[in-house]
Structure 1
Amino acid sequence: MQLVVLAAGKGKRLRPITETRPKPLVPILDKPLIYWLLKRAKGIGIERSIIVVSYLKEQIINTLSTYINELGVDVKFIDQKEELGTGHALMRASNFIDDDALVIYGDLFINGEVLRKVITRGVKCNKLVISGVEVEKPQHYGVLVIEGDKVMDIVEKPGEQVFSNLVNAGIYYIPHRLLKLLNLIQLSPRGEYELTDLVKIIRNRGEDALLVTIDNKSWMDIGRPWDIIEANKRALQYQLMNRIIKGDLDRHVTIKGPVYIGEGAKVKAGSYIIGPVYISEEAEIGPNAYLRSYTVLGKGSRAGFSVEVKESVIFENVRASHLSYIGDSVVCEHVNLGAGTVIANLRFDNRTVRVMIEGEKVDSGRRKLGAFIGAKVKTGINVSIMPGVKIGSRAVIYPGVTVYRDVPSGAIVKENWK
């Protein structure tokens, strides 16, 4: 059995996070998303992996090289070169697949039992197996057309013409004998070779594509910025059960619940931490900081004097040195938040927060949601950022500015941004 991870996409819906890193490197508990896929696969006995890359491929290759020995896996990288869809990506990898393949989209956060369930069905029947999962908003996915336990078709992003909540979960078992059929996939109206078209090809040959339904509590698609918050929250809920302290604590630090504090991290006097919270290596907390549940603080980051962080994912080397509030937000690497920077996370009318995604206002479904701040952003003192705002990488926000709408990458904002 070989694992094939399709990790070539640009992740445009995750902007500004993916302006400076590919989706597979989005951090979950300070380790890249693709690390967890390889770890789950290794946990059920799959040690050989092929990863198809393209966008920011060097980052993926270089980052994973630091984990391969730890994971004990053999990884081969294939450059898709032209981003022509999931079918094309698997075609590029097929010459290097010498066994049955477990194919996974590279933006999934799942547990090992999901993979085991798909493999068990595939090995038993020696047929194509498609995973399905029920979601609340199926119009954004490929919706499955099923009869009993058979997949008859996959309708990509049907819009408002939704006929089922059961969608393609992005995990396939493909017997080696069927890989040659990939060459029969035709260019779609979207200008891509769609892996999902393999279902029709196989059915036209008189074979069945089988369905395996998986629990949506064991599966997440990291497709929109707030999914990063939810994925880290799930990881904390299911993986951090105890208190693990490897760093240094001053006197008069209060810790409640499960908390991980990595090597070289420092928690200064007066700080208050309510778990589950994950504090990575070399991070610095306090003095008098307040870290609330479901916070993840990346390697080398600082939540300094009188800084409060609630249910947020803060990447590596972020500086929030004094008097800031970060709520329900994602803050990318090397951001510097000036004193008094406040990220609001609640609308006055208590309605759910909407976020601009590729030119369309999308309802996050979350009543509390803060901001998404790209890499190397700088804010001056007393900056206020409204709920659902995205700030592009390398933007500069001058002191005293209130940010009401998205800020483009590299922009310099000197007055209120409405």
Structure 2
Amino acid sequence: MSRPVAVILAGGVSSRFWPLRDKLLLPFGTLTLLDRHLDALRECGIAAAVAVTRPDLAEAVREAGRRCGVRLRVALQPEAKGMADALLSAAEAIEADGADPAVYVTQAHDVVERRLHAELLQRWSGEGGSLAGLIAAARVGAYFPGGYLTLEGGRVTAVVEKPGAGNEPSDLVNIVAHVHGSWRGLKAALQAESRLPGGDDVYERALTKLMSRGEYRAHVYDGRWQGLKYPWHALDVMEVLLDLWTAGEESPGAGYEQREDGVFVAPDVRIFPGAHVVPPCLIGPGAVIGHNALVRSSIVGPGCVVGFGSEVARSLLVGDVELHHNYVGDSILDRGSSMGFGATTANYRIDGRTVPSVVAGQRQDTGRAKFGLVLGSGTKVGVNTSTMPGVKIGAGALIGPNLKVTRDVPDGERVLDEEKYGRF
């Protein structure tokens, strides 16, 4: 049986990911999540695929395809109207080589071990002739706010979105890695459900209809899995990737030297006397680790400077970040941001409770005992300023010296006192 047409959902506005932008293009070292996903598909024998994205990301997505050796047909979704609309927007690209191919629907910000794709597609090659589709799923021991599979025997009969704790129809949570045997059938179901009133679960409702007409089976995946929804999830993704690189199951990219188990160092890196890099860590091209600095369980991206006496713990420095005698713990510092001498990220509540963070005006429990700062691209933090756990500061902001920051700061804001953003 021939390989299905791979359809990569690469759109959305990433609004809940603020102050970070565009999940799929967030680099972990030198590879973005889209690069990694395309590499995994290519290793499974998929040489061409369809990617659905926003118009402003189209060229970046095409470039990722060229970089990874995958021929991409890019379909545009002008507005983020959900998964069903994304697939329907890609209809022409999907049908370019035939009106009714099998399709493999994926999204790169569901970070899984590469073997999921290989095993799922291999199973489809063997069993696809007798099935309408395969749905990847992970077994969970506690409530997860996602879609749950309803099962009858071994057959999947529905996907129930966020049923609430205690109402789960099974212990299997949907992973967006779905093989559909008939694009024509999926397209018709999506079009029919799109015309009906309802929420943004059009794809799930269409899927349930298809499951009533044909046999879908669950493909239970037992490996590492991390979705990327909120900015702090980038720390969880980093942990997964560092583990996979350290275990030798994946490569962090071309050109890295493994200095010891779990320490990956790119070309042109300078590590000065007295500095310590404690595994697992990745140090990107051209980075500098200064005298007496400590980097542990972190990714230090290309061009970053971890200056004298700084400590970076369990953090992601995306690229061109500058530090000088700082403590950065359980934090994400986006490209081109900097912290002045003595600036510190608090990452632990003294009452021991998990750290909350505000998303779209709503206070969210991150579930993390330690969570520091998310600093937007190009933002500068002045000397001796402290940020409290869970704070996010937008891109292009300027935070003055000797302040405490207790609340989220919007993009481009200039903060020179504690009146608005320094109150508890």
Q: CA deviation at 1:246?
A: 6.8
1:325-336 superposed matches below 5 A: 325-336=327-338
Match of 2:12 among 5, 9, 14: 9
The equivalent residue for 2:138 is: 133
Match of 1:319 among 315, 318, 322: 322
User: 1:247–1:156: structure 2 CA closer, same or farther, 3 Å change rule?
Assistant: closer
The equivalent residue for 2:40 is: 40
**Tell me, which stretches of 5 or more residues in structure 1 are unaligned?**
249-254
Q: How far apart, CA to CA, are the structure 2 residues paired with 1:271 and 1:362?
A: 37
Q: CA deviation at 1:179?
A: 3.9
Given that residues 37 and 110 in structure 1 are in contact (C-alpha distance below 8 angstroms), is that contact kept between their aligned partners in structure 2? no
Q: CA deviation at 1:17?
A: 0.7
Given that residues 259 and 275 in structure 1 are in contact (C-alpha distance below 8 angstroms), is that contact kept between their aligned partners in structure 2? yes
Deviations 1:238-280 (A, max 9, x none): 11358999799xxxxxx76431111122112221111111011
The equivalent residue for 1:183 is: 191
Deviations 1:139-172 (A, max 9, x none): 5212222222222222223345632442221111
Secondary structure of 2:349's match?
coil
Secondary structure of 2:136's match?
strand
Q: CA deviation at 1:372?
A: 0.9
1:256-335 superposed matches below 5 A: 257-292=261-296, 294-320=297-323, 322-335=324-337
Deviations 1:216-248 (A, max 9, x none): x43221112221111111111111358999799
Secondary structure of 1:356's match?
strand
Q: CA deviation at 1:188?
A: 6.1
Deviations 1:340-396 (A, max 9, x none): 110011111111111112222222222111111111111110010111111111121
User: 1:180–1:355: structure 2 CA closer, same or farther, 3 Å change rule?
Assistant: closer
Q: CA deviation at 1:56?
A: 3.9
Match of 1:76 among 64, 68, 73: 73
Q: How far apart, CA to CA, are the structure 1 residues paired with 2:147 and 2:256?
A: 45
Secondary structure of 2:90's match?
helix
The equivalent residue for 2:375 is: 373
The equivalent residue for 1:54 is: 54
For residue 32 of structure 2, what is the amino acid of its counterpart? Answer: P
- TM superposition score normalised by structure 2: 0.88
Matched, 1:226 2:229: no
User: 1:89–1:405: structure 2 CA closer, same or farther, 3 Å change rule?
Assistant: same
Q: Which segment is superposed worse, 301-310 or 232-241?
A: 232-241
Secondary structure of 1:305's match?
coil
User: 1:31–1:190: structure 2 CA closer, same or farther, 3 Å change rule?
Assistant: farther
Given that residues 131 and 216 in structure 2 are in contact (C-alpha distance below 8 angstroms), is that contact kept between their aligned partners in structure 1? no
Q: How far apart, CA to CA, are the structure 2 residues paired with 1:377 and 1:126?
A: 52
Q: How far apart, CA to CA, are the structure 1 residues paired with 2:186 and 2:208?
A: 14
Given that residues 55 and 77 in structure 2 are in contact (C-alpha distance below 8 angstroms), is that contact kept between their aligned partners in structure 1? no
Given that residues 9 and 55 in structure 1 are in contact (C-alpha distance below 8 angstroms), is that contact kept between their aligned partners in structure 2? no
Given that residues 261 and 278 in structure 1 are in contact (C-alpha distance below 8 angstroms), is that contact kept between their aligned partners in structure 2? yes
Given that residues 256 and 274 in structure 1 are in contact (C-alpha distance below 8 angstroms), is that contact kept between their aligned partners in structure 2? no
Secondary structure of 1:273's match?
strand
For residue 183 of structure 1, what is the amino acid of its counterpart? Answer: Q
For residue 228 of structure 1, what is the amino acid of its counterpart? Answer: A
Q: Which segment is superposed worse, 303-312 or 407-416?
A: 407-416
For residue 178 of structure 1, what is the amino acid of its counterpart? Answer: G
Q: How far apart, CA to CA, are the structure 1 residues paired with 2:365 and 2:141?
A: 12
- Give the share of equivalent positions with the same residue, in percent: 28
Given that residues 55 and 76 in structure 2 are in contact (C-alpha distance below 8 angstroms), is that contact kept between their aligned partners in structure 1? no
Q: How far apart, CA to CA, are the structure 1 residues paired with 2:364 and 2:195?
A: 29
The equivalent residue for 2:31 is: 31
Match of 1:200 among 205, 208, 212: 208
Q: CA deviation at 1:402?
A: 0.4
Given that residues 158 and 211 in structure 2 are in contact (C-alpha distance below 8 angstroms), is that contact kept between their aligned partners in structure 1? no
User: 1:353–1:259: structure 2 CA closer, same or farther, 3 Å change rule?
Assistant: same
Q: CA deviation at 1:403?
A: 0.8
For residue 172 of structure 1, what is the amino acid of its counterpart? Answer: H
Q: How far apart, CA to CA, are the structure 2 residues paired with 1:63 and 1:55?
A: 10
Given that residues 186 and 193 in structure 1 are in contact (C-alpha distance below 8 angstroms), is that contact kept between their aligned partners in structure 2? no
Q: How far apart, CA to CA, are the structure 1 residues paired with 2:48 and 2:385?
A: 49
User: 1:142–1:258: structure 2 CA closer, same or farther, 3 Å change rule?
Assistant: closer
Q: CA deviation at 1:198?
A: 2.4
Q: Which segment is superposed worse, 327-336 or 360-369?
A: 360-369
Q: How far apart, CA to CA, are the structure 2 residues paired with 1:257 and 1:172?
A: 35
Q: CA deviation at 1:120?
A: 3.3
User: 1:368–1:136: structure 2 CA closer, same or farther, 3 Å change rule?
Assistant: farther
The equivalent residue for 1:251 is: none
The equivalent residue for 1:113 is: 115
Matched, 1:156 2:197: no
Match of 1:393 among 388, 392, 395: 395
Q: How far apart, CA to CA, are the structure 1 residues paired with 2:332 and 2:79?
A: 30
- TM superposition score normalised by structure 1: 0.89
Secondary structure of 2:209's match?
helix
For residue 391 of structure 2, what is the amino acid of its counterpart? Answer: V
Deviations 1:6-60 (A, max 9, x none): 1111122211112xxx1111223331111111111111111111110017414xx
For residue 62 of structure 1, what is the amino acid of its counterpart? Answer: A
**Tell me, which stretches of 5 or more residues in structure 2 are unaligned?**
none
The equivalent residue for 1:349 is: 351
Match of 1:87 among 67, 84, 87: 84
Given that residues 3 and 102 in structure 1 are in contact (C-alpha distance below 8 angstroms), is that contact kept between their aligned partners in structure 2? yes
User: 1:95–1:247: structure 2 CA closer, same or farther, 3 Å change rule?
Assistant: closer
Q: CA deviation at 1:333?
A: 0.8
User: 1:409–1:161: structure 2 CA closer, same or farther, 3 Å change rule?
Assistant: farther
How many residue pairs match? The answer is 402
